[in-house]
Structure formats: structure tokens, C-alpha cells
Structure 1
Amino acid sequence: MSIRFAIVGCGRISERHAQHISNVGELVAVCDIVREKAEGLAEKYGAKAYTDLDEMLRYEKEVEVVAICSPNGLHAAQTIAALQAEKHVICEKPMAINPYDCGEMIKAAERANRRLFVVKQNRFNPPVAAVKELIDAGKLGQIYSVHLSCYWNRHNAYYANSWKGTKALDGGTLYTQFSHFIDLLYWMFGDVKEVTAYTANYHHQGIIEFEDTGVVNLRFYNGTLGSVHYTVNSYQKNMEGSLTIFGEKGTVKIGGQYLNELEYQQIEGIEIKDLPPGNPPNQYGNYVGSMSNHDHVYANLVQVLTNNGIIATNGFEGLKTVEIIDKIYTAAKPL
């Protein structure tokens, strides 16, 4: 019997989830406080529409997995409610917008003996996966330093009449736009010990309640030095999402607009070649997101729930991303 799913939050990203759910299981219920959104998604996939999460969890007893696709600031409460209803949960990024909430989500999953999956699709980008494999095998030797560039565009219309840009539901540019990128720093190089940072809101004053630009210096526990330059002020369109790595035995740059291209490599005795083509980015009308790897995310979920597979990104790893972002914002000096 196929896995039965429900979706909470019927905005843009929910369509991506619904599409891949239909490939691996059955979407039986959707929920959104805006009835028209819930009914529109439900009609397309033959699901039942709800406007109240508690009601959906109460009546949809056969749902096994709940996908949380709502605004960032709602992730924690909705995830905990679904776990307490004894559902597995797959939560969109960011897991939450503060470390405390992440911890409560993890505890709720443990108490319910249910799985908590966190969407971190950049891990599946072919050049990212290839470089991660080399790092884990020690082929780059000691990692000396790394630099993460996040140069995207989010125009004022993106934030208009939306929860995006609010401190309470969005949380900050690093949470909504670049948490996938911060996740890769933890996944590839480990935890961060020290942070210094400057942030500023240059182009979105009166539009968003936080920064649109940041420059960050990092020191990892393993001694690696790192830097991050991020902005949503790239003129008119996304420019680049890249990660450059300087190691004892090699230098690598993964680039493109969303870490989708292997732009440079010089590695002792090794050449990365014949990478499979990656998926296109998520398209959201007037703006573009990260590479669309939700197919891999859902394939992993099915493997974990039906075949004792190893979870790709668990709640602890989702927490670490949020902790690093929280460290950056705590250390940041606004200009």
C-alpha cells in the first residue's frame, strides 16, 4: 500500500511537494487558512481540503506523513502538532527560525517515535555530492578555507502583501533565501565555533524588517576558516550561488546561479568528470530558487519508511543550520 500524505500550507512550494508525493504515494489531504488555495491544490490531486490543521489531523487518521510547507515561523508549532498526532513529518527549510524551536521539534519526534525529515535539497546537486564524497574520503586533505557567495535578486514585489520580509514569519534573509547554502557549510566542514559579521538593508528599507546584505567571517571547530557574502540585491536577476574550497591537496569551486556547476577544479591525482545533469531550479514566476531536488528528498523518505533506509537530513542537522544562522545574526553588527 502506498504512503498517504497531507500538506500544510498551499503556497508555491506546496505544488512541488504535491507533484513528487503523487509519484511516490497518495496525497489525501491539504490544509491552508486561505480556503481558495487549499481547494485549488486539493482539486488538482484529488485530495480533501481543510482550513484548520487540528481538524485535518483529527479526521485524517490514515495520513502517515505530513509535509510542512507553511511560512517559516509556523514550522515548529505545526510540526509538533503533526508529530503529537503520530504522523511522520517532512519540513521545508528552514526547520524553524530559532534553535529552541528546533529542539522542541526534535523532542516531539522522539516522544512520538516518529521520523522528522528536513528538506535540504542542495545536498543532492551533482557537483556538491561529488565534492562531498572527495572531502569525506580525505582526497582534498586538510581544508584550509572556504568561501560561500550568495548573490541573488529579490525585488520589492516579491515581498509585497506577504509574510516574506517579516521578522515573525520569515526570520531573515539567511533563513528564507540561503539556509540551503548554510546547511552545506555544516554538512561539508562541520560546526562553527566563532562568527563576526556585518549586515545592512540597502535596497529594501520600508519593505522588509531585516537585512538584505551580509558579510560574515567564520572559524570552524576543525580550524577551517570561512567567509560568506550574501545579498538579494543582485541587479535585476540572480547572479551566483557558489562555494569555493581551498584544501591541502586541491582547490574546487562549485558555482552557477545555485551551486549547479563545477566551475573550477585542481586536485592532486583526481579529476571530477562525467557528472550527471542536475535538475532545473525551482521557478516561482518572477524569481528563481535553488535546484529542484525534491524528487531525491521524497525518494529518501520512502526508503527510510519502507526499507530501513538512512535519513538524508534529520532533525539534528536541521537544527545545526539554524544554530549557525542564529550565531551569525547574534554576532552581526547592523550598519
Structure 2
Amino acid sequence: MKKLKFALIGCGRIALRHAEIINNIAELTAVCDIKPERADEFSKKFFSKPYTSIEELLLNEKDTDVVSVCTPNSFHSAHTIAALKAGKNVVCEKPMAISVSECNRMMIEADKSGKDLFIVKQNRFNPPVAALKQVIEAGRLGKILNVELNCFWNRNDEYYRQSDWKGKKAIDGGTLFTQFSHFIDLLYWLIGDFKTLNGIGRNFIHTKLVEFEDTGVVIGEFENGALCTINYTVNSHKQNMEGSITVFGENGTVKIGGQYLNVLEYQSIDGYKIEGLPASRPANDYGFYQGSMSNHEKVYENVIDVLTKGGTIAANAFEGMKTVEIIERIYKSMENC
């Protein structure tokens, strides 16, 4: 079978993970970054043609099948729409965008072009998370009563100083967009949409570097009546501490924890036990900090399955938009607190 041809827009930290996987299972033909040295570095490493303009890349690389967008958050919409208009399928890193209106424009363009839009939600592939999804869908927990989400990471001054966009509200969007959108996605994916959301956010120790909250507390009620608490911070001392979700049901309780939702920490389910889980992959390692679980190969396996075998998109654009919508609602509720 002929390998699909990919182009990569943005050559930053997460883009390296994308490029490595694409290079293993498909063909990375072109890379693009506004910083020529980054594009050249990727070009040499992955034997692809470098560009500093997405318009030039799309004009010249006519046989590209898929464009992977790995640029800063606020550019996801424009770069995705440009690729869709050029007749390319798109893989868009999280968050899909930093406003629902941008997400809607992306979905409209995908529909007009007839091309597929994939949103990266790799934490859905964490073995304990996938097992919890199966348990909930099978009804083993009974009625879901409440859910607790904890995100306690460390993002120190160096993290923000080494970036020319992280911490800037107009580009970054906020802590929930850049750090914890995967966790918000799992609430929607596992339990459903929210009826109400109310939050309080504060910037305690990053006031000189960050234009938004570094800590937040949220309470919510799902449409199904279950209650939810979200506690998050990037002020965990020196290192990431915890990324966990606990689901309490009438017939069972399950907690997935570790630092990155990678460990089945607790389970008590009537007449059932989750067993035989494969080992979780390591977290994405960026040197002085770590991010979410490294399941991007599963994302790209799904892309290839959809485009060559007619498979189903694992995380579609509507689901990507719902994550953005939930975060927007949380931030809106924080405005007067």
C-alpha cells in the first residue's frame, strides 16, 4: 500500500513527536516554521523540504495527503482552514482553537472541502482511561453520581521564559487550554456535557510571566445530574504531582491517577474487576518538564485507518469544539470572581 504523504506546520517541541511518528508509518514530505533554523533542522532530520510560509508549502506540495498543524494555539484555526481550502486532510494538535467561533469556522471549512479534520486527543488511548470508558458504557458503575478531576503540575518560570508565546493570553488562551485541555476532553468523552459550570481562578506566583490564572477551582453539574469538581494548578512544587480522575457511581468507584492519568489507582465495582491492562506509554518528555501521555502513534494509526480503510475518526472536530466550549464557559464564569 502506498504511504500517505504528510506536511508538518510548526516545528516546536510537540512537532518533533509528530514528525517521528509520521516518519515511521508514512512519509513526511515537507515541514514549515516561521523560524528558518527550525524548519531547516527538521528538514535535515526527516529528509523533507523546508518552508517558512504555509501558503508557499500548500502551493508547491500539491500531492500532500495530510497537513499536521502543530503551531501555537491561536494559529490552529487559520492554519487548519488554509490547509482544508487547499484540499488537504488535517490533523490539529490540542486545543482545536481558543474560541468556539474559530472551531465553528474550522468545521464549516472541513464540511465544504469534504476533507477530514482530526483533533489530537491522545489521552483517550491511555489503557486505564480506555478501560474506564468501557466500564461506563457497559453500565457497570450504574448511575454516575459525581466526578473529581485533579491536575497538579509544575510549570516554572523557565517554562514560560523559554517560549515566545506560552503565558500570553492572546496566543496561549489560558492554563486550561495549553496544560489541561486533554483532561477536560475526558470529562466530556466519559460522562457527557455540562449543565452548569462555575469557577474561580487566580495567578499566585506567575504574575510577571503569565497573563492568566495559574490555579483554578471549578464546580459543575453534568447534563445527567452528576456533580463534578475540577482542581488544577501549575504550582506543584518543583515537579508534576498528579493528573487524576475519579468516578463515583451507584455500583462502583474507579480512580485513574499517576501524574498523567496513566495508573489505575483504585477500583471497587460490583461483580467486576478491571484486569490485564497493557503498560502505559511514558509521558512526552521535553527536558526540564513533562507533558501528557505519549500516545500520538495511536492518533496517526487512526488517521491512516480512516483515510485508507474507511475507519471512524477517534476524536472528531465536534468533540474538539466541545472541549473548547467547556473551557470558554469556565473562563466566562471566572470573570466576575
Name the TM-score class by shorter chain: over 0.9
Separation in 1, partners of 2:239, 2:164: 20
Q: State the alpha-carbon separation in 2 of the partners of residues 94 and 51 from structure 1.
A: 23
Aligned length: 335
Q: What is the CA-CA distance between 1:206 and the residue it aligns to?
A: 1.4
Q: Does 1:307 align with 2:309?
A: yes
Structure 2 residue 184 is the aligned partner of structure 1 residue 182: yes
Could you say what secondary structure the match of 1:7 adopts?
Answer: strand
CA distance in 2, matches of 1:323, 1:227: 17
Q: Which letter maps to 2:128?
A: P
The 4+ residue runs of structure 1 with deviation greater than 2 A are none
Alignment of 1:184-223 (within 5 A): 184-223=186-225
Give the structure 2 partner of residue 64 of structure 1: 65
Match of 1:264 among 263, 266, 273: 266
Letter in 2 for 1:94: P
With 43-52 and 325-334 compared, the bigger mean Cα shift is at 325-334
Which residues in structure 2 correspond to 1:84-233 (within 5 Å)? 84-160=85-161, 161-233=163-235
CA distance, structure 1, for counterparts of residue 125 and residue 261 of structure 2: 10
Measure the CA separation in 1 of the matches of 2:69 and 2:102. Answer: 15
SS at match of 2:172: coil
Residue 251 of structure 1 corresponds to 253
Distance 1:113 1:19 in 2: 28
Matched residues in 2 for 1:104 and 1:218: separation? Answer: 28
Which residues of structure 1 form unaligned runs of 5+?
none
The 1-side partners of 2:328 and 2:124 are apart by 21
Residues in 2 aligned to 1:185 and 1:205: alpha-carbon distance in whole angstroms: 29
For each residue in 1:244-279, what CA deviation from the matched residue of structure 2 results, as whole angstroms up to 9, or x when unmatched? 110011001000000000000000001111100011
Task: Say yes or no: does 1:281 pair with 2:283.
Answer: yes
Does residue 36 of the first structure (1) align with residue 37 of the second (2)? yes
Please give the root-mean-square deviation of Cα atoms over the aligned residues, in Å. Answer: 0.8
TM-score where L is the length of structure 1: 0.99
For 1:196 and 1:170, the matched residues in 2 are separated by: 22
**2:52 matched to which residue of 1?**
51
Q: Does the residue aligned with 1:76 lie in a helix, a strand or coil?
A: helix
Q: Deviations over 1:23-46 (max 9, x none)?
A: 221000000000000010011111
Letter in 2 for 1:148: L
What's the counterpart of residue 3 of structure 1?
4
* TM-score, normalisation: structure 2: 0.98
Contact 1:199 1:334 in 2 (8 A): no
Structure 2 stretches lacking a partner, 5+ long: none
